[in-house]
Structure 1
Amino acid sequence: MTRGAAVAIVLMILLVALNVPVEAHVPEFPEGGESLEKAVRIEDPTKSWVVYSDLHGGGSPHYYLLTMKQGERLFVSLTVPQHYIERGFQPSMALIGPSIEDNGTLPSYVQVPEGSGAMVLTGPLPDRPEYEPFSPSAFYELGEIVLEAPQDGDYYIAVFDEGTGGNYALAVGSRESFTAKEWLLVPISSVSIYLWEGQDLLMVLAPSVLTFGVGLAAMLGTSRRRIQPVDVLWVLATGAGLLMLASAASFIYQMLWSLSQTGAEVTAAVTVIFAVLAIVLGLSALRVAHRERPMGKVPTSSRIILLAIGGFGLLLWAGWVIGPVIAIVTAVLPGGLLTRQLGRTRPARDAR
């Protein structure tokens, strides 16, 4: 077993053993919801989702539809990123539905179906934001509603604000469940989440682009000292490895940026482990690319390592899906293609 593989196994065991209170949600970016008739339907509302949206404010609420059965756990949480809290955006929400007792006063512009009650939640602003470890971010939780559905039927969540409006997130459901597609697309969605927080696109991309560029320059420099020329395997394995290192850099930057707002959080250990595992996978791919091989051959061990890197990369969100896919494809391509030379052979330098 290589040192990198041992480190990866230890960290994954630690990730499971930490037992810190974290929850992963399936991200969604829906459109619509400006009226009860156009309410955004939340499929499988007991499953853990998080909806990212923006509210125009000034009497333009958003509506979400949850079809529940009696006794099912109804969980809803409203959060706002710090950037919009600082701008004075502090929306409220209401649970509207059958057998819901009226609690609080709704603005006149919020629609209520006939025969329904409304539970209004306008909570105080917390002292500081909370930390989200899976897609590192900082947000304020303005309140949550947790109850058992009193009867079968349609329940609505209304999010509203009479002020300037801003971005908010609505977490729905508490049963953590991902399809393969949902899990794989989480890292792709992370860029949209960072922009939703109010970050600048340049700052979101800069850590990854810088890491990829510096890493590529270093790999090109070391390739000049190799006896073997650059070939297709070198290019693909290097690309996969650098993408994983770039995603780790993004993870670390977002963690530090978020912790600067929330203060130290024990759940940041989850982010650190994900980032370190991505680094281990990336460096392992670069090692496969750089190692000397028999001319015209691809060792079986290299293929196995690349398959493992790709599989774990998909599981751990390393390399934004692209890196792991490149590693897996490289592992199964014909040897004749992988060993096709893309540069001249350079004689080894004499040791002095």
Structure 2
Amino acid sequence: MLVKVFPGKRTGSAIYEGFSPSAFYSLAREDFQAPESGTYYAAVSSAGGEGNYGVVLGYRERFSLSEWLSIPLRQIKTYRWEGQSLLFIFLPLGMTLAAGILVILHKKEDAAEFNPARWAGLFSGLFFLGTGFSLIFQMLYSLSRSSYSPEVIITVFLALASSGFGVIALVLSMKDERYGEKSTQKRLYFFVLGLAGLLFWAGWILGPILAFEAAVLPWKRKG
């Protein structure tokens, strides 16, 4: 039986990953071809005690449609793997939703006239914005534990995209309900926002779903 041992060595600072965003230590890296087809086993041990670890096999990243769409949920698992609490993970999103709800309640007379389409549009915008703030929040947290990396640009781009989707959704939702009433313009905008949210992992999946709801629900004024 062939056994290969790859000793690990902890680097001085963690490596920043821009898509999640997150930070991790790369302890060992080896590039070799498997000598033959079959079943291989990997064992990880540490003299320093227990801890979380990850093993990456291969050098190509390919995602199925379901895997791509579920990446926001996988991000939560990554943050939990890092030791973050759910409260810490969802703090930026929760604050965004709370601020949005407070603004709406401040204008409760206007809110009483909102129809389901407008509510869906408003909350899709808040979820998109919350994603943008969450990305910046996680970026700053990860950079506090790692060295600077050019992948910060990736995180900033994703955060700006999510925030942009949120602003557009909020502006569309607050426009006069007669805007686009005789056409499919507003519904088309929300449909595109839903697709863009899924493509750029914005809105924690709920944002795109709400955008699709705003695209199919009627926008006519109540009563």
| Structure number with higher helix proportion | 2
Counterpart for residue 11 of structure 2: 126
Report the AA paired with residue 159 of structure 2. A
Counterpart for residue 329 of structure 1: 213
Report the AA paired with residue 178 of structure 2. P
Counterpart for residue 130 of structure 2: 246
Counterpart pick for 1:210 among 62, 85, 95? 95
Counterpart pick for 1:284 among 168, 177, 187? 168
Counterpart for residue 53 of structure 2: 168
Residues 52-201 of structure 1 aligned to structure 2 (within 5 Å): 116-201=1-86
Q: Flag the structure with more relative contact order, 1 or 2, with Cα contacts below 8 A and sequence separation at least 6.
A: 2
Distance in 2 between the 1:299 and 1:318 partners? Answer: 27
Given that 2:15 and 2:23 are in contact with CA atoms closer than 8 Å, whether structure 1 keeps it comes out as yes
Shift of 1:341: 3.2
Distance in 2 between the 1:246 and 1:151 partners? Answer: 48
Distance in 2 between the 1:292 and 1:311 partners? Answer: 24
Given that 2:180 and 2:186 are in contact with CA atoms closer than 8 Å, whether structure 1 keeps it comes out as no
| Structure number with higher strand proportion | 1
| TM-score normalised per structure 2 | 0.91
Query: Percent identical across equivalent pairs?
Result: 35
Counterpart for residue 341 of structure 1: 222
Query: What secondary structure sits across from 1:138 in the alignment?
Result: strand
Larger radius of gyration: 1
Report the AA paired with residue 21 of structure 2. P
Distance in 2 between the 1:285 and 1:253 partners? Answer: 22
Report the AA paired with residue 339 of structure 1. K
Q: After the TM superposition, which segments of 4 or more aligned residues of structure 1 sit over 6 Å from their partners?
A: none
The one-character-per-residue Cα deviations of 1:82-117 (angstroms, maximum 9, x if unpaired) are xxxxxxxxxxxxxxxxxxxxxxxxxxxxxxxxxx21
Distance in 2 between the 1:170 and 1:224 partners? Answer: 55
Given that 1:223 and 1:290 are in contact with CA atoms closer than 8 Å, whether structure 2 keeps it comes out as no
Distance in 2 between the 1:296 and 1:223 partners? Answer: 24
Shift of 1:152: 2.2
Shift of 1:329: 2.6
Distance in 2 between the 1:152 and 1:190 partners? Answer: 32
Given that 1:244 and 1:281 are in contact with CA atoms closer than 8 Å, whether structure 2 keeps it comes out as yes
Given that 1:304 and 1:331 are in contact with CA atoms closer than 8 Å, whether structure 2 keeps it comes out as yes
Aligned residue pairs: how many?
223
